[in-house]
DNA sequence: CTGAAAGCGCTTACAG
DNA sequence: CTGAAAGCGCTTACAG
């Protein structure tokens, strides 16, 4: 591949001048610039970003480590992150941790080795020594998005779903449901714990308990949603409504319910955290708590780039909202 | 950040020895190796991958340019690509072209600038000078996945859906549908054209025509599926069945059908190319043509790595299969 | 406005 | 088994 030297000799200037011309440095004579550009063009020259990065100590690349690309919430998040990053002049490398802490650590190690300028992480459950160490060392600017690890000095950009969960419980209560169950995420993920807590507190406002057998410990993936829902249905007193802490576990719940020949909402009500386009077309359309996912991703990138470029980065909390559809029953005709 | 020099001086050896010790070069005395590893460890040394890449002229990185990350088919493809790449020791950088040829070209330029070792592309519709030039120059090993650009000397890893489309038409015909319409992709994408052609040929086997007004020219995105379906429904003789050439356009079709207060399959049958988990839970569950998406992604990576490592790369064609659900009507009770 | 030179952090052929 | 040295392709402070 043509290098800067080739361009320099063809244009009859030094490599320093080629570099300046190509980087729009002001101190380059107009016709020198023209000659350089022509030479670069005829040689099909593409500057070597690796060499530039080594020299400038910047890669103009962001790392994004998420727990599951196949989860539509994270897909949308990743897309927003990439869009905003591109707008700010950065590329992004995505690492998919698949909810496995060691895969997450593997990605972080690789990304740091590549000298990305900054790191966006939505931490998975479990021990993640590399993540902790990277955050603690503070050499790579980092921002948590969606989920966080308490106790680390890292800004977090997240959504607060407390109000929306309260709205959901109001909705369920109004319909007449009293036995409410939740499929939570891994306890060690902040979102996993928060959503269950919010649910419990919302129930308490009606004097309703959240017994242990109505709390499922899922992992944000389809299989756990299914398994936990089967457990609920096997109970002597199955719940009247199930709230899944993410969309994949809701999908698993639908699988389980359908396999038993039961119907939503006639036999059991269902709602999910995270809204996705398909929920409009499920049978029935699913009531869900919608995060402003695009805003979340963009805010995270801005916070990270602020850190990278030496500005102070603030944590950001956005607000989720309840989207009522038909999966919890109709409000009009009281309970069933 | 600690560099190889720091490790060298702490271990009392040269940087050459540090490099060898860290890269498991055989010619390093055991205790020297130990001393180096200890030094690296206490300094929290992470080798600078940028410098290494500059020196070795390899980045151990693959580029993947796809047309739409939000399309579950591509999400799954990307995931498989990343898994296989990791298994072979490569990272992957994803570029989302959003079905825009210039965004696609932007990503290719960026990736080539980063000196990725190889490029996997699912080309978008339209003029893509950078893509063509990159393929023609042949400096960056390239493999097309899913879609291709005819006339370029680039291996392609794809799925053949001809048989599955024939099965679909058999299925529709058996149910009694005779007026069959198709929502195609952009004519310039190979998959866009192939799926429509396969459909047309399958109809011909029954002596059924595929009139122009039953051919929609979509762009693989939700909006076009909706718009085209509305057009179909506005026809004097609306089709009895609609085949959408990807899952997002099928989603758009469902939107349009629902808005008119019509039902699938009673009022109109619907089937899609690409099967996704949600199709099990739509109202009704959607009949779809399933690609072996994971295999596709993995085969593409292997073909690309073959090229990168100097082995000959072969094109690969996998086979799609029809998954019958309920969105075309029941075969048992003849037609409606 | 331009160039010579240093240097970013590695790897590796060469010599011993 | 180990080290000195060159060099990958850039950018940039310095000098003119």
B1/A139 touch (CB, cutoff 8 Å), yes or no: yes
* CATH fold for the domain made of A61-159+293-318: Rossmann fold (3.40.50)
B72/A72 touch (CB, cutoff 8 Å), yes or no: yes
Q: What is the pLDDT of residues A35-48, one digit of tens each?
A: 999 999 999 999 99
| Minimal Cβ distance to B137: which of A44, A48, A277 | A44
Interface probe for B, chosen from A75, A100, A108 (most Cβ of B below 10 Å), is: A75
**Residues A22, B138: Cα–Cα separation, whole Å:** 24
B278/A282 touch (CB, cutoff 8 Å), yes or no: yes
B281/A284 touch (CB, cutoff 8 Å), yes or no: no
Closest Cα in chain B, distance from residue A209 (Å): 31
**Residues B242, B269: Cα–Cα separation, whole Å:** 6
* CATH annotation of A160-292: 3.40.50.2300
Q: Which residue on chain A is closest to B89 by alpha carbon?
A: A110
**Residues B97, B103: Cα–Cα separation, whole Å:** 5
B76/A70 touch (CB, cutoff 8 Å), yes or no: yes
- A36 C-beta less than 7 Å away from strand D: no
- A55 C-beta less than 7 Å away from strand D: yes
Residues of B in contact with A141 (CB under 8 A): none
**Residues B67, B100: Cα–Cα separation, whole Å:** 7
**Residues A54, A61: Cα–Cα separation, whole Å:** 13
| Average pLDDT of every residue of chain B | 93
Mean pLDDT of B304-324: 95
Same fold, A61-159+293-318 and A160-292: yes
- A14 C-beta less than 7 Å away from strand C: yes
Which CATH code of 3.40.50.300, 1.10.260.40, 1.10.15.40, 3.30.420.10 fits the domain covering B4-47?
A: 1.10.260.40
**Residues B15, B36: Cα–Cα separation, whole Å:** 10
All structural domains of chain B with their residue ranges: 4-47, 59-158+293-318, 160-292
When pLDDT is cut at 50, 70 and 90, the band that residue B172 belongs to is very high
Q: List, in order, residues 6 or more apart from A21 with CB less than 8 Å away.
A: A28, A32, A33, A36, A37
Query: What is the model's pLDDT at position B331?
Result: 61
A258/B278 touch (CB, cutoff 8 Å), yes or no: no
- A3 C-beta less than 7 Å away from strand D: yes
Cβ–Cβ contact A263 with B under 8 A: no
Mean pLDDT of B227-239: 97
Query: What is the model's pLDDT at position B217?
Result: 95
Q: List, in order, residues 6 or more apart from B86 with CB less than 8 Å away.
A: none
Superfamily designation of domain B59-158+293-318: Response regulator (3.40.50.2300)
Q: Which residue on chain A is closest to B114 by alpha carbon?
A: A49
Interface probe for B, chosen from A44, A46, A79 (most Cβ of B below 10 Å), is: A46
- B137 C-beta less than 7 Å away from strand D: no
Which nucleotides in chain D have some atom under 7 angstroms from a protein Cβ?
A: 1-5, 7-13
Put simply, the chain A residues between 29 and 48 with a CB less than 8 A from any chain B CB are 44, 46-48
Q: What is the pLDDT of residues B43-70, one digit of tens each?
A: 999 999 999 999 999 999 999 999 888 9
Q: What is the pLDDT of residues A282-317, one digit of tens each?
A: 888 999 999 999 999 999 999 999 999 999 989 999
- In chain A, the percentage of residues whose pLDDT exceeds 70 is 98
- Answer whether residue B278 shows pLDDT above 90: no
Helices (H) and strands (E) in chain B, counts: 12, 12
Angstrom distance, A15 CA to D13 C1': 15
- Answer whether residue B332 shows pLDDT above 60: no
**Residues B181, B210: Cα–Cα separation, whole Å:** 7
């Amino acid at each position: 591949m043509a290098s800067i030297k080739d361009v320099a000799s063809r244009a009859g200037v030094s490599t320093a001048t080629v570099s300046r011309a190509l980087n729009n440095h002001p101190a380059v004579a107009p016709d020198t610039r023209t000659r350089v550009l022509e030479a670069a063009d005829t040689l099909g020259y593409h500057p070597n970003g690796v060499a530039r990065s080594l020299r400038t100590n910047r890669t103009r690349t962001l790392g994004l480590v998420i727990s599951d690309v196949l989860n539509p919430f994270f897909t949308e998040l990743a897309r927003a992150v990439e869009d905003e990053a591109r707008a700010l002049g950065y590329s992004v490398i995505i690492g998919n941790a698949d909810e496995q802490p060691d895969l997450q650590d593997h990605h972080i190690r690789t990304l740091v080795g590549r000298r990305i300028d900054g790191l966006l992480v939505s931490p998975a459950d479990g021990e993640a020594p590399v993540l902790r160490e990277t955050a603690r060392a503070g050499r790579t600017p980092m921002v948590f998005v969606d989920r966080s690890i308490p106790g680390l000095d890292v800004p977090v950009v997240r959504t607060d779903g407390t109000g929306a969960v309260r709205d959901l419980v109001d909705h369920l209560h109004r319909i007449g449901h009293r036995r409410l169950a939740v499929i939570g995420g891994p306890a060690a993920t902040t979102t996993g714990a928060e959503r269950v807590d919010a649910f419990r507190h919302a129930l308490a406002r009606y004097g309703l308990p959240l017994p242990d057998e109505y709390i499922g410990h899922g992992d944000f993936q389809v299989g756990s949603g299914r398994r936990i829902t089967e457990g609920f249905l096997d109970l002597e007193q199955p719940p009247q409504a199930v709230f899944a802490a993410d969309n994949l576990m809701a999908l698993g719940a639908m699988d389980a319910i359908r396999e038993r020949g039961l119907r939503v909402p006639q036999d059991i009500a269902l709602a999910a955290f995270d809204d996705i386009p398909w929920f409009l077309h499920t049978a029935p359309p699913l009531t869900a708590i919608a995060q402003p996912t695009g805003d979340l991703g963009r805010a995270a990138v801005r916070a990270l780039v602020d850190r990278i470029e030496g500005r102070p980065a603030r944590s950001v909390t956005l607000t989720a909202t309840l989207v009522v559809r038909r999966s919890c029953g109709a409000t009009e005709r009281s309970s069933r």
